[in-house]
Amino acid sequence: MSNMKEAFENGKAFIAFITCGDPDLETTAAVVRAAVENGADLIELGIPFSDPTAEGPVIQGANLRALNGGITTDKIFSFVKELRKDVKVPMVFMTYANVVFSYGAEKFISACRNIEVDGLILPDLPYEEKEEFQPICEKYGIDLISLIAPTSANRIAMIAKEAKGFIYIVSSLGVTGMRSNIKTDLSSIVNVVRENTDIPCAVGFGISTPEQAKKMASISDGAIVGSAIIKLLEKHGKDAPVYVGEYIKSMKTAIR
């Protein structure tokens, strides 16, 4: 069993997305620790991929910088194993099905277990094809996180009933990135989720301000933020941890 539920036990959860290896793993480690120290309840670690179809320009840029810096899946596994010596909050990997396939699904997922990663998010894996990975994830106690998008419509109940860990609700159509307005009727999506499961749900894609985080957390069980954190890394590089820490503190305060 994963420790995912711990992230949602102390009120609304703040989930921070960080791309591994942008600009290097030492900085990633410092950013993760700063995030946890300032209230992040769950860390979503991005494993870079050359064709990240769900990502906007900001996270695409982070993927590129990390890959150009020589990041590999094996280096990330070793890095997380080291990180786990002092970082105790739940952690999940966010990557693409191709990364898992090319590494070998059983090898990848068993490695997740060995380094105490709690879950796996594969945004390009349709619900109908999750059987490719679900049985292996269950074998090793890794939660395969389901995503529900505004287009999921009559599939929401079906996805919610079989969800593990937490449900990632995608706030808007399109790719990741900061948005000035989130216009989707998320309350009705969350209502259908609540009718079909007691697993927590958190909203991501487009959240960058404390006001947005507060609104999304009031509808759901938490807020997921990625691009705004990556922008700080892009701007400050190795000096980013202190800025990320301050930013997360303001976001966590807003959703409390």
| CA separation for the pair 238, 55 (Å, rounded) | 23
Q: What is the pLDDT of residue 114?
A: 98
Range of the domain at 229: 4-255
pLDDT bin (cut points 50, 70, 90) of residue 176 is very low
- The length of the chain in residues reads 256
pLDDT bin (cut points 50, 70, 90) of residue 180 is very low
User: Could you tell me whether strands 42-46 and 13-19 are parallel, antiparallel, or unpaired per DSSP bridges?
Assistant: parallel
Residue of 177 and 246 predicted with greater confidence:
246
Q: What is the pLDDT of residues 76-93, one digit of tens each?
A: 999 999 999 999 999 999
pLDDT bin (cut points 50, 70, 90) of residue 109 is very high
Query: Is pLDDT above 70 for 183?
Result: no
pLDDT bin (cut points 50, 70, 90) of residue 51 is confident
Q: What is the pLDDT of residues 205-229, one digit of tens each?
A: 889 999 999 999 999 999 999 999 9
Count of alpha carbons within 13 Å of 34, Cβ hemisphere only?
24
User: In 3-state terms, what secondary structure has residue 80?
Assistant: helix
254 C-beta neighbours (distance < 10 Å), count = 18
Write the single-letter amino acid at 132: E
Q: What is the pLDDT of residue 171?
A: 83
**Mean pLDDT, rounded, for 135-156:** 93
Phi, psi of 55 (to 5 degrees): -100, 145
| CA separation for the pair 212, 220 (Å, rounded) | 12
Angle between helices 57-68 and 227-236 (to 10 degrees): 50
- Provide, rounded to the nearest whole percent, the portion of the chain with pLDDT above 70: 93
- Percent of the chain as helix, strand, coil, to the nearest 5: 50, 15, 35
With 0-12 / 13-18 / 19 or more C-beta atoms within 10 angstroms meaning exposed / middle / buried, residue 151 is exposed
Query: Is pLDDT above 60 for 195?
Result: yes
Phi, psi of 115 (to 5 degrees): -100, 10
User: In 3-state terms, what secondary structure has residue 114?
Assistant: helix
Q: What is the pLDDT of residue 174?
A: 47
Residue of 59 and 241 predicted with greater confidence:
241
Mean pLDDT across the chain: 92
* CATH number of the domain within which 139 lies: 3.20.20.70
**Mean pLDDT, rounded, for 112-135:** 95
Query: Is pLDDT above 70 for 98?
Result: yes
Query: Is pLDDT above 90 for 54?
Result: no
Query: Is pLDDT above 90 for 30?
Result: yes
Angle between helices 227-236 and 240-255 (to 10 degrees): 160
Query: Is pLDDT above 70 for 61?
Result: yes
Query: Is pLDDT above 90 for 129?
Result: yes
Number of domains the chain contains: 1
Query: Is pLDDT above 70 for 181?
Result: no
| CA separation for the pair 23, 28 (Å, rounded) | 8
pLDDT bin (cut points 50, 70, 90) of residue 5 is very high
